[in-house]
Structure 1
């Protein structure tokens, strides 16, 4: 079996050694180089030809964001960012995802409380998954300037809901979709993006800045409003609950599902039986199968429209592929066309 060749880019000698040691414990991985800054990376990565790069966000001489942006233009390959959990670290990580990084890992906040087994498992899992990521022009063109689509409200009597589940590659894919909605859409958008606590707020702020609709981190008990996209906070499941004639958001700390909290399945399943709402559910790029069980439950009980992102435009085709294989997807769509499809099918 061919090993995944990895280069580590980090200005900390200690972190380079930690990452190298953890990665080399897995027989599927070979660390073929360690570099100290972005300038070294741009010069040496084309020569080393790794399958995956781990890159620190904060480095001297040339930081991770500048390096990543240039790398994706000149020598695109899967990059997993290493980030701090500070507010600035979270903001920079979201920018890195939109520049084309496949995924990210958060550095331990304290080496005194460092759990090498858990951290090592996370690093190995993300690196191995990144090796099979779809790195192409569509995914890593860093100059997204989507044209806002025209919109005519439908005359249907039913209220509407649009739900999106996404994981690896999600921040950039969500930007592609949300930025095309006009401000006056007559439905709310509910989003589950697999992301730890502290990062979903930065994601919402970033997406809000490039969208005409309002994008925000969801809050417990708030009523759903048309023209607003609600992102489930990291480490909370998001459910939709009826309260009288309105729909409200419920955030819970129930056990993770398949390691995920928030879970796409949890959101989708909370809408089973809502026949008085016209629903469009979308599964986008990501590892695993989250969302499939929810779609199965919805399709069993009522009529909903389901959309999956195409293989060609998914960074990782796991979640859409699982839903398609379960025969619960009505339409397979390139990421550039998802917003148009949502608006089309939400008006039926």
Structure 2
């Protein structure tokens, strides 16, 4: 079996050594070289032909974003970014996703030795997942603007209450952008979203999507009442449950134990809406590694509610892990290209006008 050949690009000698040691401790990975900045990284890409690159965002001479754009233009490869958990770091990370990075890792800081085991597991897992990424979709980095679906094509029933729940991970920020930007501002249902991301980054994602979308997008707040035409993204490190309080649906955030290593977890969100009083629900599982969401799909379908499950197709998924796991439950109603998910939602909620 061929090992995954990795190039590590970081301006810190300590970080280069730490990441190299972590990766080479796994028999599936070989670090073929390191580079101290973007210029050095581009040279090493040509010399070493790695399978995948870990790339620091902030570096002298040539920063990570500039280097990433050059890589995707001239030597397209799966790239995993290393980013600091700051406001500017979060914004740069989202730009990196737009430019074609597969995923990102929160850059370790402080007392690294205290959580080195969890950091190592995360880095190895993301590098292996990125090595299997759908590079054809990754290369479609800068998408043309999505056309909003015209709401007049659909007829909404005022007596019908709907809820959309979306779960995604690797490749999710770009997939969410493609889906949410196509929805009209008067979308008649609330949307609750779990995107696997650390604290801080979910806020940057919500702010960015809110600028781009006709609907409102925000980071979810504890005990907030759900409103139609608003998308709520679970904050990093908090599970999001939806609860019923009289006629309102409200958000409950907690830091209960991680589910399969995830907090927030899609399964937790899906399980919580299975308990709600009857209403029409649409669950969507999009690109991501692992199987988070599959058990939640089973729980939803076992409930007595009207539940539709949509999974993103393999063709458009950056990583076809989560959608595949959902599909393997044999409970998915539609398998849809990411570009068609927003239309599928509109059809399910509104139905075509006669």
TM-score normalised to structure 2 length: 0.94
Q: Alpha carbons of 1:275 and 1:110: their partners in 2 closer, same or farther (altered >3 Å)?
A: closer
Give, in whole Å, the separation in 2 of the partners of 1:248 and 1:115.
34
Q: Alpha carbons of 1:205 and 1:324: their partners in 2 closer, same or farther (altered >3 Å)?
A: same
Q: Residue in 1 aligned with 2:319?
A: 316
Give, in whole Å, the separation in 1 of the partners of 2:90 and 2:338.
25
Q: Residue in 2 aligned with 1:14?
A: 14
Aligned pair count reads 348
Partner of 2:14: helix, strand, or coil? helix
Q: Residue in 1 aligned with 2:294?
A: 292
Displacement of 1:272:
1.3
**Correspondence 1:169 to 2:180:** no
Partner of 2:283: helix, strand, or coil? strand
**What's the CA shift string for 1:59-100, capped at 9, x where partnerless?**
112111122123222222111111111222122112212222
User: Aligned Cα RMSD in Å?
Assistant: 1.6
Q: Residue in 2 aligned with 1:262?
A: 264
Give, in whole Å, the separation in 2 of the partners of 1:18 and 1:202.
28
Q: Residue in 1 aligned with 2:141?
A: 141
Displacement of 1:114:
4.9
Displacement of 1:277:
1.6
Q: Residue in 2 aligned with 1:239?
A: 241
Runs of 5+ unmatched residues, structure 2: none
**Equivalent pair of 1:156/1:347 in contact (CA under 8 Å):** no
**Correspondence 1:345 to 2:344:** no
Q: Alpha carbons of 1:47 and 1:153: their partners in 2 closer, same or farther (altered >3 Å)?
A: farther
**Equivalent pair of 1:72/1:140 in contact (CA under 8 Å):** no
**Correspondence 1:71 to 2:74:** no
Displacement of 1:218:
0.2
Give, in whole Å, the separation in 1 of the partners of 2:27 and 2:43.
28
TM-score normalised to structure 1 length: 0.96
Runs of 5+ unmatched residues, structure 1: none
Give, in whole Å, the separation in 2 of the partners of 1:126 and 1:69.
20
**What's the CA shift string for 1:268-310, capped at 9, x where partnerless?**
1111144532111100001111111111111112321110001
Give, in whole Å, the separation in 1 of the partners of 2:275 and 2:122.
37
Give, in whole Å, the separation in 1 of the partners of 2:15 and 2:217.
35
**What's the CA shift string for 1:100-140, capped at 9, x where partnerless?**
21111122221465533222222111111111111114663
Q: Residue in 1 aligned with 2:214?
A: 212
Partner of 1:163: helix, strand, or coil? strand
Give, in whole Å, the separation in 1 of the partners of 2:139 and 2:341.
14
Alignment of 1:1-348 (within 5 A): 1-111=1-111, 113-137=113-137, 140-151=140-151, 152-155=154-157, 157-274=159-276, 276-301=278-303, 302-348=305-351
Give, in whole Å, the separation in 2 of the partners of 1:254 and 1:273.
18
